[in-house]
C-alpha cells in the first residue's frame, strides 16, 4: 500500500514542531543537540499526515516525543507538539472517541510529568490544560463542520421540495387548463353531431370527438410522467376568481346551464386563495361536463368564519367525479390543503353531485 502524499499545509506544521523541540533543547543547554535535530524530525514527521490518519499519527508522535524527552528533554514544547494530533483526532472523529482519547492522553501526560518533571502540581495543571484545550477546540471545529453540512443538506432538501411542489403545481395547471378546453370541445362536437344530419359534417364532428378524446387520454398519461419528472417547472398561471365568468361562459357554450352566486361581503380575496379557488371551480365544472350528464350547475362563493367557501352543485346522475386514479379531484384537494383548507366531494340526496372547498383567507 502506497503512503498518501502529505498535504502542503501539513508539512510546515511538522517542521515547526521539530523546530520547537530543537529550540527547547538549545534553550535548556542540552548536551545532545547532535541527536536533537534528527530525533525531532522523526518525532514530528507523522504530523504531516495528521488529517489523514489522526489516531495512528497521535500514537506515533507520542512514541517519538517519549524518545525526545529521554534524550534531550524538550519538556516545555513536547505537550504543544502532542496537542496537534490530539486536535486532529477530536476534529475528525466523533465526540465519544474524542473523550476517550483525551482522557487516555491526560492520564499518560500525568504519568510522564510525575516521572520526569519537578513541580508536579503546576506542570500537571498546565499540560492537562493544553490537552483539554486541544480536545475542546477540535470538537468545536467538528461540531461546526457538521452543523454546516446539516444546513447545506437542509437547503438541498428544501430546494428539492420546492421543485416537487412546482412540478405538482404545473401538473394541476396543465390538467385544469387543457383538460377543461378539451372537454368543452368534446362536448360541443358531440352536441353538434346530434343536431346536424349532414353525413360529411357528421363524420367530421365525430372525428373531432375522437381526436379530443384521444387527447384527453394522452394528457392523463403525460400528467403521470410529469409527476415523476425532476425537471424544473415554469411559473404557474395566475388566473383567479375574477375570471370566473369565463368559466361559466365556457360551460354554457358546452351545453351546461351554469350560474353563480357570489357573496363576498366586501372581503378582499388574497391572490393565492383566488388562484386556488379559480382552479377548483374550473376542475369541478370540467368534471360536471365530462362525467355527470348534468344540464345545470350552480356555483356558490361565500365568506364565512374568515374562510372562502366554494360549492359547486349539479343535477346530474351523482357521478360528477373522475375515476379514483384521476388527477382532477386529487388536484383540487391538494390546492385546498396547500392553503390549510379542505375539500370534499360526493353525491347529493337528490342525485346530483356536490363539491365543497374551504380556503382560509389568512
353: domain CATH number is 3.30.565.10
Cβ distance 261 to 301 under 8 Å? yes
Q: Spell out a b/e string for 69-92, using b for 16 or more CB atoms within 10 Å of the CB, else e.
A: beebbbbbbbbbbbbbbbbbbbbb
Burial (CB count <10 Å: 0-12, 13-18, 19+), residue 220 = middle
C-alpha grid cell, residue 221: 398519461
Same domain, 250 and 346: yes
Does residue 125 form part of some domain? yes
Same domain, 252 and 359: yes
**Residue whose cell numbers read 409527476:** 227
Same domain, 121 and 242: no
Question: What is the number of domains present in the chain?
Answer: 2
Confirm whether pTM is higher than 0.75.
no
Does residue 164 form part of some domain? no
Same domain, 143 and 267: no
Kindly write down the DSSP assignment for every residue of 170-210, as one continuous string: HHHHHIIIIIHHHHHHHHHHHHHHHH---HHHHHHHHHHHH
Same domain, 131 and 244: no
Does residue 336 form part of some domain? yes
Same domain, 15 and 143: yes
Same domain, 137 and 18: yes
C-alpha grid cell, residue 101: 482519547
Residues in the chain: 362
d(CA 6, CA 8): 6
Kindly write down the DSSP assignment for every residue of 80-92, as one continuous string: HHHHHHHHHHHHH
Residue-range definition of the domain harbouring residue 106? 10-151
Which stretches of the chain are assigned E, i.e. beta strand? Answer: 257-263, 296-304, 307-314, 342-347, 353-360
Does residue 179 form part of some domain? no
Ramachandran region, residue 144 (left: φ > 0; alpha: ψ -120 to 50; beta: rest): alpha
CA dist 235 to 99, 163, 167, 227, Å? Answer: 52, 11, 10, 16
Residues whose CB is less than 8 angstroms from the CB of residue 305 and which lie 6 or more positions away in sequence, other chains included: none
Does residue 186 form part of some domain? no
Does residue 59 form part of some domain? yes
Does residue 344 form part of some domain? yes
* Secondary structure letter of residue 234 according to DSSP: -
d(CA 327, CA 324): 9
At which of 120, 151, 182 does a domain end? 151
Does residue 200 form part of some domain? no
pLDDT tens digits for the chain (362 residues)? 455 677 777 888 889 888 998 888 888 776 677 788 899 999 999 988 888 888 999 999 999 999 988 888 888 889 999 999 999 999 998 889 989 999 998 998 888 888 876 778 888 898 899 999 999 999 999 999 999 999 988 888 887 887 777 777 766 666 666 666 677 677 767 666 666 555 556 666 666 776 677 666 666 665 665 555 454 444 444 567 878 888 888 888 877 888 998 888 778 888 888 888 888 998 888 888 877 678 889 999 999 888 999 999 988 765 544 544 456 778 788 888 888 889 998 888 877 889 999 999 87
At which of 119, 151, 183 does a domain end? 151
Report the SS3 class of residue 263: strand
pLDDT of 31 reads 67
At which of 127, 151, 175 does a domain end? 151
Amino acid at each position: 500500500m502506497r503512503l498518501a502524499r502529505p498535504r502542503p499545509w501539513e508539512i510546515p506544521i511538522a517542521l515547526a514542531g521539530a523546530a520547537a523541540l530543537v529550540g527547547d533543547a538549545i534553550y535548556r543547554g542540552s548536551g545532545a543537540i547532535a541527536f536533537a535535530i534528527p530525533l525531532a524530525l522523526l518525532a514530528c514527521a507523522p504530523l504531516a499526515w495528521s488529517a489523514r490518519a489522526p489516531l495512528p499519527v497521535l500514537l506515533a508522535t507520542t512514541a517519538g516525543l517519549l524518545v525526545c524527552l529521554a534524550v534531550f528533554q524538550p519538556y516545555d514544547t513536547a505537550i504543544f507538539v502532542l496537542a496537534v494530533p490530539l486536535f486532529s483526532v477530536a476534529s475528525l472523529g466523533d465526540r465519544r472517541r474524542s473523550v476517550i482519547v483525551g482522557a487516555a492522553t491526560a492520564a499518560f501526560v500525568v504519568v510522564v510529568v510525575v516521572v520526569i518533571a519537578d513541580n508536579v502540581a503546576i506542570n500537571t495543571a498546565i499540560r492537562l490544560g493544553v490537552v483539554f484545550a486541544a480536545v475542546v477546540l477540535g470538537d468545536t471545529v467538528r461540531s461546526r463542520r457538521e452543523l454546516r453540512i446539516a444546513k447545506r443538506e437542509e437547503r438541498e432538501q428544501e430546494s428539492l421540495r420546492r421543485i416537487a411542489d412546482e412540478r405538482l403545481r404545473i401538473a394541476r395547471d396543465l390538467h385544469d387548463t387543457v383538460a377543461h378546453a378539451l372537454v368543452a370541445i368534446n362536448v360541443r362536437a358531440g352536441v353538434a353531431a346530434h343536431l346536424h344530419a349532414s353525413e360529411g359534417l357528421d363524420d367530421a364532428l365525430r372525428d373531432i370527438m375522437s381526436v379530443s378524446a384521444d387527447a384527453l387520454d394522452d394528457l392523463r398519461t403525460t400528467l403521470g410522467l410529469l409527476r415523476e419528472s425532476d425537471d424544473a417547472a415554469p411559473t404557474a398561471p395566475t388566473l383567479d376568481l375574477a375570471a370566473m365568468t369565463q368559466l361559466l361562459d365556457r360551460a354554457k357554450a358546452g351545453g351546461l346551464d351554469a350560474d353563480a352566486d357570489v357573496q363576498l361581503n366586501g372581503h378582499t380575496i388574497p391572490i393565492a386563495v383566488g388562484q386556488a379557488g379559480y382552479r377548483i371551480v374550473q376542475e369541478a365544472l370540467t368534471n360536471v361536463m365530462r362525467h355527470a350528464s348534468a344540464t345545470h350547475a350552480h356555483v356558490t362563493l361565500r365568506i364565512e368564519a374568515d374562510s372562502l367557501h366554494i360549492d359547486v352543485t349539479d343535477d346530474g346522475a351523482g357521478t360528477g367525479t373522475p375515476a379514483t386514479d384521476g388527477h382532477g379531484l386529487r388536484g383540487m384537494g391538494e390546492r385546498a390543503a396547500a392553503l390549510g383548507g379542505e375539500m370534499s366531494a360526493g353525491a347529493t340526496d337528490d342525485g346530483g353531485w356536490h363539491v365543497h372547498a374551504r380556503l382560509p383567507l389568512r
